[in-house]
Amino acid sequence: MNTYLEQLNEPQKAAVLQKDGPMIIIAGAGSGKTRVLTYRIAYLMQQGVDPFNILSLTFTNKAAREMKDRIGKVVGYSEAKNLWMGTFHSVFARILRSEADKLGYPSNFTIYDSQDSVRLITTIIKEMNLDKDRYKPKQILSRISSFKNSLITVRAYFNNSDLQEADLMASRPKVGDIYKEYVDRCFKSGAMDFDDLLLRTNELLARFPDVLARYQDRFRYILVDEYQDTNHSQYLIVRALADRFQNICVVGDDSQSIYAFRGANIQNILNFQKDYPDVKTFKLEQNYRSTSNIVNAANSVIAKNKTRLDKEVWTANESGGYIKVMRTISDGEEGRFVAQSIFDNKMNNQLTNNEFAILYRTNAQSRAMEDALRKKDIKYKIYGGISFYQRKEIKDLLSYLRLLINPNDEEALKRVINYPARGIGQTTIDKLAIAANHYKKSIFEVILNMSTIDLKINSGTKTKLENFANMIQRFQIESQTKNAFEVADLVVKKTQLVKDLQKDGTPEGISKVENVQELLNGIKDFITDKIEAGEDASLPIFLEDVALATDFDSDKKDETPRVSLMTIHLAKGLEFPYVYIVGMEENLFPSAMSMNTRSELEEERRLFYVALTRAEKQAYLTYAQTRYRWGKLTDGEPSRFLEEIDDKFLEYITPKLPEPRANRFIDADLFDDAPKKIRFQKPIQKKRKEFLDKKSGDLLPKKGKMKKVSELSGAKANLFDGEVTVGNIVEHNRFGKGEVIALEGKGPNKKAEIQFATAGKKKLLLQFAKLKVI
Ligand code: ATP
Ligand code: MG
**CATH number of the domain within which 505 lies:** 1.10.486.10
pLDDT for res 216 = 97
Domain assignment of residue 399, yes or no: yes
Length of the chain: 774
Q: What's the maximum distance between 2 C-alpha atoms anywhere in the chain?
A: 81
Do 419 and 400 reside in the same domain of the chain?
A: yes
Do 116 and 87 reside in the same domain of the chain?
A: no
CATH number at residue 138: 1.10.10.160
Domain assignment of residue 332, yes or no: yes
Tell whether 395 is in a known binding site. Answer: no
Catalytic residue status for 256 = yes
Can you tell me which atom of ligand 1 is nearest the CA of 36?
A: 11
Rounded to whole angstroms, the Cα distance separating 331 from 326 reads 12
Secondary structure class of 286 (helix, strand, coil)? strand
321's CB contacts (< 8 A; 6+ apart) are 291, 293, 617, 618, 651
Q: Where are the alpha helices (DSSP H) in 81-231?
A: 88-99, 114-127, 137-149, 154-158, 161-169, 175-188, 194-207, 209-218
Domain assignment of residue 77, yes or no: yes
Ligand 2 mean position to 24 CA, how many Å?
14
Confidence of residue 492 (pLDDT cuts 50, 70, 90): very high
% helix / strand / coil in the chain, to the nearest 5? 50, 15, 35
Residue where a domain terminates, one of 189, 216, 240: 189
Ligand nearest to the CA of 35: 1
Do 471 and 559 reside in the same domain of the chain?
A: no
Contact 500, 420 (CB under 8 A): yes
Ligand 2 mean position to 422 CA, how many Å?
51
Q: Which residues pair with 512 in a beta bridge?
A: none
Residue 629, CB-side half-sphere exposure with 13 Å CA sphere: 17
Do 383 and 394 reside in the same domain of the chain?
A: no
Do 232 and 332 reside in the same domain of the chain?
A: no
459's CB contacts (< 8 A; 6+ apart) are none
Do 208 and 93 reside in the same domain of the chain?
A: yes
pLDDT for res 657 = 66
Rounded to whole angstroms, the Cα distance separating 465 from 313 reads 65
Which amino acid residue places its CA nearest to atom 27 of ligand 1?
Answer: 8
Tell whether 34 is in a known binding site. Answer: yes
Contact 750, 721 (CB under 8 A): yes
Rounded to whole angstroms, the Cα distance separating 310 from 360 reads 28
Catalytic residue status for 622 = no
Mean pLDDT of 735-751: 81
266's CB contacts (< 8 A; 6+ apart) are 228, 254, 257, 260, 307
Can you tell me which atom of ligand 1 is nearest the CA of 284?
A: 6
Rounded to whole angstroms, the Cα distance separating 584 from 424 reads 51
Between 266 and 197, name the one with better pLDDT: 197
Ligand 2 mean position to 573 CA, how many Å?
4
Do 416 and 510 reside in the same domain of the chain?
A: yes
ipTM above 0.85?
yes
Distance of CA 610 to the CA centre of its chain: 16
The amino acid that residue 170 corresponds to is A
Catalytic residue status for 35 = no
Confidence of residue 380 (pLDDT cuts 50, 70, 90): very high
Rounded to whole angstroms, the Cα distance separating 774 from 738 reads 10
Which amino acid residue places its CA nearest to atom 2 of ligand 1?
Answer: 29
Please check the confidence at residue 714 and state whether its pLDDT lies above 50. no
Ligand 1 lining (C-beta closer than 6 Å): 7-9, 12, 29-35, 253, 256, 288-289, 573, 575, 613
HEC-encoded secondary structure of 630-693: CCEEEECCECHHHHHCCHHHEEECCCCCCCCCCCCCCHHHCECCCCCCCCCCHHHHHHHHHHHH
Residue where a domain terminates, one of 489, 519, 548: 548
Ligand nearest to the CA of 571: 1
Do 97 and 124 reside in the same domain of the chain?
A: no
Give strand ranges (E) for 340-433. Answer: 356-360, 380-382
Domain assignment of residue 329, yes or no: yes
Q: How many domains does the chain have?
A: 5
Between 449 and 506, name the one with better pLDDT: 449
696's CB contacts (< 8 A; 6+ apart) are 171, 173
Q: What is the mean pLDDT of the chain?
A: 87
Ligand 1 mean position to 290 CA, how many Å?
10
Residue 62: which H helix or E strand, with range?
helix 61-75
693's CB contacts (< 8 A; 6+ apart) are none
Domain assignment of residue 435, yes or no: yes
Instruction: Please state the φ and ψ torsions of residue 333, each to the nearest 5 degrees.
Output: -65, -35
The amino acid that residue 403 corresponds to is L
Of 25, 34, 38, the one to substitute when testing ligand 1's pocket (max ligand atoms within 8 A of C-beta) is 34
Q: What is the pLDDT of residues 385-430, one digit of tens each?
A: 777 888 899 999 999 999 999 999 999 999 999 999 999 999 999 9
Do 469 and 530 reside in the same domain of the chain?
A: yes
Q: Report the candidate in 258, 240, 354 with the shortest Cα–Cα distance to residue 302.
A: 258
Do 534 and 573 reside in the same domain of the chain?
A: no
Ligand nearest to the CA of 284: 1
pLDDT for res 564 = 95
Distance of CA 109 to the CA centre of its chain: 22
Instruction: Please state the φ and ψ torsions of residue 624, each to the nearest 5 degrees.
Output: -115, 145
Do 11 and 66 reside in the same domain of the chain?
A: yes
Secondary structure class of 725 (helix, strand, coil)? coil
Please check the confidence at residue 273 and state whether its pLDDT lies above 70. yes
Catalytic residue status for 33 = yes
Q: What is the pLDDT of residues 569-583, one digit of tens each?
A: 999 999 999 999 999
397's CB contacts (< 8 A; 6+ apart) are 488, 491, 492, 497, 516, 519
Peptide bond into 420 cis (omega under 30): yes
Q: Report the candidate in 538, 436, 392 with the shortest Cα–Cα distance to residue 127.
A: 436
Ligand 2 mean position to 174 CA, how many Å?
42
Do 587 and 537 reside in the same domain of the chain?
A: no
Domain assignment of residue 671, yes or no: no
pLDDT for res 307 = 82
Domain assignment of residue 220, yes or no: yes
Which amino acid residue places its CA nearest to atom 30 of ligand 1?
Answer: 288
Domain assignment of residue 171, yes or no: yes
Among residues 256, 365, 613, 622, the one annotated as catalytic is 256
Q: What is the pTM of this model?
A: 0.81
CATH number at residue 333: 3.40.50.300
Rounded to whole angstroms, the Cα distance separating 197 from 719 reads 52
Mean pLDDT of 293-320: 92
Can you tell me which atom of ligand 1 is nearest the CA of 614?
A: 3
Task: Please report, for the chain, how many H helices and E strands are present, in that order.
Answer: 31, 23
Residue where a domain terminates, one of 505, 532, 548: 548
Residue-range definition of the domain harbouring residue 758: 728-773
Q: What is the pLDDT of residues 64-121, one digit of tens each?
A: 989 999 999 999 988 898 999 999 999 999 999 999 999 999 999 999 998 999 999 9
Q: What is the pLDDT of residues 8-34, one digit of tens each?
A: 999 999 999 999 999 999 999 999 999
> Over the range 392-428, which residues count as b (16 or more CB within 10 Å of their CB) and which as e?
ebbbbbbbbbbbbbbbbbbbbbbbbbbbeeeebeeeb
